[in-house]
Amino acid sequence: MKIVVIGTGYVGLVHAAVCSEFGYEVHGYDTDAGKVADFSSGRAELIEKHVNEPGLSSIIRETLGKYLFFTSDLEPVVEGADAIFLCLPTPPKLDGSTDLGIYKKSARHLAELLSGRKDKRRVTVINKSTVPIGTARMLEGILTQDGAENLGVCSNPEFLAEGTAVAQARVPDRVVVGCDHPEDFNILGRVYAQFRNHVRIKYIETTPETAEGIKYIANTMLLTYISFWNGVGAKLGEKIPNLDIDALRVGVTADDRISTWGSMVSNGAGGSCFGKDIRSLIYQMRGLGLDTKMLESSYEVNEHQKVYLIDRAINEAGFNFNNSSVAVLGLAFKQNTSDMRDASSIEVIEALLSKGVKKVKAYDPLANEAAKAVFTPANNVLFEKIEFLDSPKAAIEDTDALFISSDCDEFRGISATIEAKARPPYLVIDGRRMIPDYRELLEKGYSYLAVGSTALLP
């Protein structure tokens, strides 16, 4: 089995590495020669510069040169390939639609190479990127335009969450394969041989359109579920003093049909997929003349959620941000990642600065460097007022309020640091309900305002 993975970003690199563990000959192709050199070195620090997933660099070190190869020359590796996976960026355009520019360019390049290949046996081209429903069929048109023969096009979306990608790729909850021809189902059946007939893994063979749709419905459903908790559960808890959102969550999710995942109320969900995919699906549905009210509400609730705690601090705690200093803990979109894409902290910090905050003291255990690239004065001159610190203690020192914007485990013990470094009535704005012992803070005269609860003032 010879596999080519086009695009060695987050999805492609994990896929290539895990396929190489199965003993297939896997070639990861990328146009970025620097990346190819870093991956080919097998050195953890060079690999992790690009994709930092637990367990990933050790797989690459084990299989490199034996089963796994990297290249920035596609032509030689396409020859004799059985399966070619496309794992390319599909960023959003301003109107929410999906930009397929890189994708189409890469497909045209592949079409040229496939039309000239000497080995005429079946080759299956599989899309793993999240693309609008109907893209696989369009891809088939591009790939055959130069006369390439005996090829099939499939959709095989990935569902990996950051931080657990390797574990999930090794044992996924489902494998979705959308093809038109039995030969292509067979080739993918060989790639994923260990997942077929697995007792816990659902192996779903369907049409390309259904496979593409499964990815969008899954991601928009997950975001809608989070928005339901944020837009309904949290909002009730913020108005009714005796309504305990944590007990409410446990009571509701005790029903096997209702998931615990997604019920953690927050100052908004971020990351590379949710916002982008819901906007793309809204765009696609509008194109079909369908009503999109439900998805628009999910999206809007999530956007509102990112900043509304700042208004609550003004209205309910009477806090004046003008000329104040605020610590922001948690910059990445969630714990255990340095990924800043669609992170709530971006909107939080922009809103704080627009309210006249004179200094933001920011800290994230993994994302400080990535955040510096986002918060550059070239993007917004006010970002000059941000200082990056290397500990929560240093961030909290000399500030008037704290905003917790992600769920890093180390923030659960933050009350001791608050007591040591900030004097009451210091305001704690908790966007993730990270402080279990907040009542002790209150007793000591601190103010506490959390998503899902009424403001608690001394």
Which residues are near ligand UDX by CB under 6 A?
159-162, 219, 222, 226, 261-264, 266, 269-274, 333-334, 407
Separation between Cα atoms, residue 182 and residue 179, nearest integer Å = 8
Q: Beta partners for 402?
A: 327, 428
Please tell me whether residue 69 adopts helix, strand or coil conformation. Answer: strand
The smaller minimum CB distance to ligand UDX, of residues 269 and 328, is found at: 269
Using alpha carbons, select from 388, 369, 376 the residue that is nearest to residue 329.
388
Closest approach of Cβ 393 to ligand UDX, in Å? 24
Catalytic-role residue among 154, 179, 273, 408: 273
The smaller minimum CB distance to ligand UDX, of residues 264 and 414, is found at: 264
Separation between Cα atoms, residue 412 and residue 401, nearest integer Å = 17
Q: Is-contact 223 299, C-beta < 8 A?
A: yes
The smaller minimum CB distance to ligand UDX, of residues 138 and 161, is found at: 161
Q: What are phi and psi of 362, to 5 degrees?
A: -105, 145
Closest approach of Cβ 14 to ligand UDX, in Å? 11
The smaller minimum CB distance to ligand UDX, of residues 161 and 243, is found at: 161
Tokens of 255: 């029903």
Tokens of 277: 């995919």
Closest approach of Cβ 370 to ligand UDX, in Å? 15
Closest approach of Cβ 434 to ligand UDX, in Å? 12
Tokens of 31: 């146009």
The smaller minimum CB distance to ligand UDX, of residues 264 and 331, is found at: 264
The smaller minimum CB distance to ligand UDX, of residues 123 and 408, is found at: 408
Question: Would you give the DSSP letter of residue 229?
Answer: I
* Displacement of CA 291 from its chain's centroid (Å): 27
Q: Beta partners for 207?
A: none
Q: Beta partners for 177?
A: 205
Structural element, H or E, at residue 44: helix 44-48
What is the pairing mode between strands 83-86 and 401-404?
Answer: unpaired
- Count Cβ neighbours within 10 Å for each residue of 438-451 and write b for 16 or more, e otherwise: beebbeeebbbbbb
Using alpha carbons, select from 195, 188, 193, 228 the residue that is nearest to residue 211.
188
Closest approach of Cβ 103 to ligand UDX, in Å? 18
Closest approach of Cβ 115 to ligand UDX, in Å? 33
The smaller minimum CB distance to ligand UDX, of residues 25 and 342, is found at: 342
Closest approach of Cβ 2 to ligand UDX, in Å? 27
The smaller minimum CB distance to ligand UDX, of residues 23 and 251, is found at: 251
Q: Reduced to 3 DSSP states, what percent helix, strand and coil does the chain have, rounded to the nearest 5?
A: 45, 15, 40
Catalytic residue check, 154? no
Q: Beta partners for 326?
A: 360, 401
Separation between Cα atoms, residue 105 and residue 54, nearest integer Å = 32
Using alpha carbons, select from 370, 382, 379, 378 the residue that is nearest to residue 330.
370
Half-sphere exposure of 360 (CA within 13 A, CB side): 29
Separation between Cα atoms, residue 46 and residue 38, nearest integer Å = 5
Closest approach of Cβ 247 to ligand UDX, in Å? 16
- Give catalytic residue positions: 273
